């Protein structure tokens, strides 16, 4: 049985650990004091112990600083044997940094690949959930079964860095879907439409998007659609926006989405679910909150 060392933090890392622990021996290094929860995984105290005897090492860290500290000083990885030097980054990094890191790490015998996971709700996975792999086809084949243990949908996007770039594309459009849905639904509601009618009609018409399909019925039923955080989304959109600037892509709407998410994160807090964005539109549009009668 493959032994996997997972360094991570937050709900996404906990989800990855739980999925892997169903079919693998998993050791976990909590990089943020108690935010990584997984029954059945063996906790370790430091990165060196994590890498020792691990067949694969996986990063899924929601702090850019912690992730970069581990990647920029990779001596801890040398605790493993030569064949164990595959490092899979399931966090969200900057695609160009990932390209550059993959090159640097290859010079010290470490194969670094990116395989970030996109989901809005780990409790609903694998629905609308996918892993975007950046690295060679050969490496993908060698780790595919591990990745599929986390999520059956694995898409090969190109060389190292491509997985991170793809996830930013997906995250930006997913965020736009949701923000557009709130904005348009607020306009409809203020003009006399019910959310229930919009949930039916828009999702059978050309306005359909993944957010309208989930969010509008949930607003009517006062239920949740997501357990990813506003802070996480804002961070993704900052990276997407930076990539757009670097490559000369205007991204007028996605850049506005970045600003909106940062503002919402500042108003409501980084750790709240993206479902709470509904509150922003209710307040800013003068709508009554759901259930307020």
Partner 1 sequence: MRVGYIGLGAMGGALARHLIGKFPLSVFDLNRKAVDAFVELGATAAATPAELARNSEVVLLCLPRSSDVEAVLFGADGVAQGLSSGKIVVDQTSGVPAQTREFARQLEEVGVPLFDAPVSGAMATAIAGTISIIASGPHKAFQTALPVLQSISPNVFHCGERVGNGQTMKTVNNMMNVSCRLATLEVVAMGRKFGLPLEVMTEAINATTARNYTSQGMLPAIAQGRKSTKFWLALQVKDIHQAIGLAAEQRVPMPIGGAARSILQIGLNSLGKDAELEQMIGVIESMADTKFVDAATNVKSLEAK
Residue number, 149 or 170, with CB nearest to partner 1? 170
Give the single-character DSSP code of 273.
B
Residue number, 129 or 229, with CB nearest to partner 1? 129
Please state, in angstroms and rounded to a whole number, the distance separating the CA atoms of residues 261 and 250: 18
Give the single-character DSSP code of 40.
T
Backbone angles phi, psi at 290, to 5 degrees: -55, 135
Please identify which residue in 37, 220, 273, 285 interacts with partner 1, judged by CB under 8 A.
285
Judged by CB under 8 A, the chain residues 27 through 86 that form the site for partner 1 are none
Cβ neighbour number for residue 34 with a 10 Å cutoff:
7
Any contact of residue 162 with partner 1 (CB under 8 A)? yes
Nearest CA among 101, 35, 48 for reference residue 75 = 48
Q: Residues in the chain, how many?
A: 293
Please state, in angstroms and rounded to a whole number, the distance separating the CA atoms of residues 291 and 293: 5
Two tokens, residue 36: 């990584």
Judged by CB under 8 A, the chain residues 193 through 232 that form the site for partner 1 are 193-194, 197-198, 200-202, 204-212, 214
Two tokens, residue 292: 């307020």
Judged by CB under 8 A, the chain residues 112 through 141 that form the site for partner 1 are 118-120, 128-130, 132
Any contact of residue 235 with partner 1 (CB under 8 A)? no
Please identify which residue in 141, 249, 267, 271 interacts with partner 1, judged by CB under 8 A.
249
Question: Stretches 13-21, 60-68, 80-88, 248-256: which one binds partner 1 (CB under 8 A)?
Answer: 248-256
Any contact of residue 254 with partner 1 (CB under 8 A)? yes
Q: Encode 58-76: b = buried (16+ Cβ within 10 Å), e = exposed.
A: bbbbbbbebbbebbeebeb
Residue numbers at the binding site for partner 1 (CB under 8 A): 95, 118-120, 128-130, 132, 153, 155-158, 162, 165-166, 169-174, 176-177, 179-181, 183-188, 190-194, 197-198, 200-202, 204-212, 214, 240, 243-244, 247-254, 256-257, 260, 284-286
């Amino acid at each position: 049985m493959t032994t996997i060392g997972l360094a991570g933090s937050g709900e996404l890392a906990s989800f990855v650990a739980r999925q892997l622990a169903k079919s693998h021996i998993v050791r976990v290094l909590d990089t943020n004091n108690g935010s990584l929860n997984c029954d059945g995984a063996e906790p370790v105290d430091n990165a060196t112990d994590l890498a020792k005897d691990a067949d694969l090492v996986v990063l899924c860290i929601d702090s850019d600083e912690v992730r970069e500290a581990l990647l920029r000083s990779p001596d801890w990885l040398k605790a493993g044997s030569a064949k164990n030097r595959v490092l899979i980054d399931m966090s969200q990094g900057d695609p160009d940094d990932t390209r550059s890191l993959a090159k640097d790490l290859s010079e010290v015998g470490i194969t670094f690949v990116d395989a970030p996971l996109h989901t809005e709700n780990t409790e609903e996975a694998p629905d609308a959930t996918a892993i975007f792999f950046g690295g060679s086809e050969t490496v993908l084949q060698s780790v595919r079964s591990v990745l599929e243990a986390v999520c059956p949908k694995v898409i090969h996007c190109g060389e190292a860095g491509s997985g991170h770039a793809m996830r930013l594309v997906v995250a930006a459009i997913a965020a736009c879907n949701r923000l557009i849905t709130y904005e348009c639904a607020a306009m409809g509601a203020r003009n006399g439409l019910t959310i229930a009618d919009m949930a039916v009609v828009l999702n059978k018409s050309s306005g359909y998007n993944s957010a309208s399909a989930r969010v509008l019925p949930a607003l009517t039923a006062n239920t949740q659609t997501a357990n990813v955080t506003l802070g996480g989304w804002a961070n993704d959109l900052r990276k997407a926006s930076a990539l757009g600037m670097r490559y000369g892509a205007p991204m007028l709407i996605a850049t506005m989405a970045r600003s909106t998410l940062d503002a919402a994160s500042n108003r409501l807090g980084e750790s709240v679910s993206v479902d709470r964005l509904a509150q922003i539109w209710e307040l800013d549009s003068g709508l009554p909150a759901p259930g307020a009668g």
